[in-house]
């Protein structure tokens, strides 16, 4: 028969550290203890070490996505750079630069006609301007402009319609123009800007327009050629005669 046991007489040992147990981080959150004497944390760094060593477990839990960090800028990602952010995708500065180049290629005669050394260059042979009304009467405006490139150095469109209307016509017909001018400044004023200092200046400046548009050439000091005459000489087809 088992002898009776007096639990009070049993020696269960004393904890080596009778002090109050503390949790990892109490020195920070509670202001207690010393961080140098703090015990190791209870969590494991195994997962972090595995990632650092290049190990991965395809059956394991998918890794967390790492937030994107701005590179050249320090602002928040997704906020435009011109508003203090890190930007996202193509910047607005790049887009505006592309648009400005397009506008410059079709700008008025204010562009200086000089060489890289600042010397004035000789004038070209011909600058040709179609009126918006005249070029719309042609059967194939794209062919006509391409054909005119054979003898004209610069080609443009002017008219009493708005500049956006001229640009839309240019895009729809896929026409390459060197300059254009709408009703905002007036077609005659636009052509008058093509002075000897302009890159579009030529020995012969010609307006091809309808019979009632001769005033545009007169006010600008250009030569006027009726559309019917130009079409007959160049063998262009007029779809909508006057």
Closest C-alpha to 211, from 241, 236, 190, 189: 241
Domain for residue 200, yes or no?
yes
Domain for residue 109, yes or no?
no
> How many angstroms from the chain centroid is the CA of residue 9?
88
User: Residue 188 sits in which domain range?
Assistant: 124-234
Q: Which CATH number does the domain housing residue 166 bear?
A: 3.40.50.1000
Domain for residue 21, yes or no?
no
Closest C-alpha to 190, from 168, 223, 157, 166: 157
CA dihedral for 97, 158, 201, 234, sign (positive or negative): positive
Domain for residue 59, yes or no?
no
Query: What residues have CB less than 8 Å from 145, skipping those under 6 apart?
Result: 130, 135, 155, 175, 176, 177
Query: What residues have CB less than 8 Å from 205, skipping those under 6 apart?
Result: 126, 127, 129, 191, 194, 220, 221, 222, 223
Q: CA angle, 61 as apex, 60 and 65 as ends, to 5°?
A: 130
CA pair distance 106, 28, nearest whole angstrom: 67
pLDDT digits 0-9 by tens, 23-54: 666 666 666 666 666 666 655 554 445 444 54
pLDDT above 60 for 206: yes
Q: What is the pTM assigned to this prediction? A: 0.53
Domain for residue 2, yes or no?
no
- For residue 236, how many other CB atoms are within 10 A of its CB? 20
Q: Mean of the per-residue pLDDT values for the chain? A: 73
Domain for residue 142, yes or no?
yes
Mean pLDDT value of segment 166-193? 92
Domain count across the chain: 1
Q: Quick one: pLDDT at residue 123?
A: 67
Q: Give 39's DSSP letter.
A: P
Domain for residue 213, yes or no?
yes
Domain for residue 26, yes or no?
no
């Amino acid at each position: 028969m088992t002898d009776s046991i007096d639990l009070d007489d049993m020696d269960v040992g004393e904890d080596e550290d009778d002090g109050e147990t503390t949790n990892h981080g109490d020195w920070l959150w509670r202001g207690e203890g010393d961080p140098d004497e703090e015990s190791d944390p209870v969590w494991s760094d195994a997962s972090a070490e595995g990632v650092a060593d290049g190990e991965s477990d395809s059956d394991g839990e998918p890794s967390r996505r790492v937030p994107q960090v701005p590179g050249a800028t320090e602002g928040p990602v997704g906020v435009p750079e011109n508003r203090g952010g890190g930007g996202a995708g193509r910047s607005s500065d790049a887009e505006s630069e592309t648009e400005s180049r397009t506008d410059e290629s079709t700008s008025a005669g204010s562009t200086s006609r000089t060489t890289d050394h600042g010397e004035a260059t000789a004038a070209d042979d011909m600058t040709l301007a179609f009126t918006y009304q005249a070029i719309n009467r042609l059967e194939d405006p794209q062919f006509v402009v391409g054909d005119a490139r054979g003898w004209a150095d610069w080609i443009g469109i002017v008219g009493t319609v708005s500049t956006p209307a001229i640009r839309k016509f240019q895009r729809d017909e896929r026409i390459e123009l060197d300059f254009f001018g709408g009703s905002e400044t007036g077609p005659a004023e636009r052509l008058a800007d093509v002075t000897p200092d302009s890159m579009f200046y030529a020995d012969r400046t010609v307006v091809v327009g309808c019979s009632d548009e001769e005033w545009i050439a007169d006010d600008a000091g250009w030569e006027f050629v009726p559309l019917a005459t130009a079409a007959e000489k160049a063998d262009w087809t007029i779809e909508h005669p006057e």
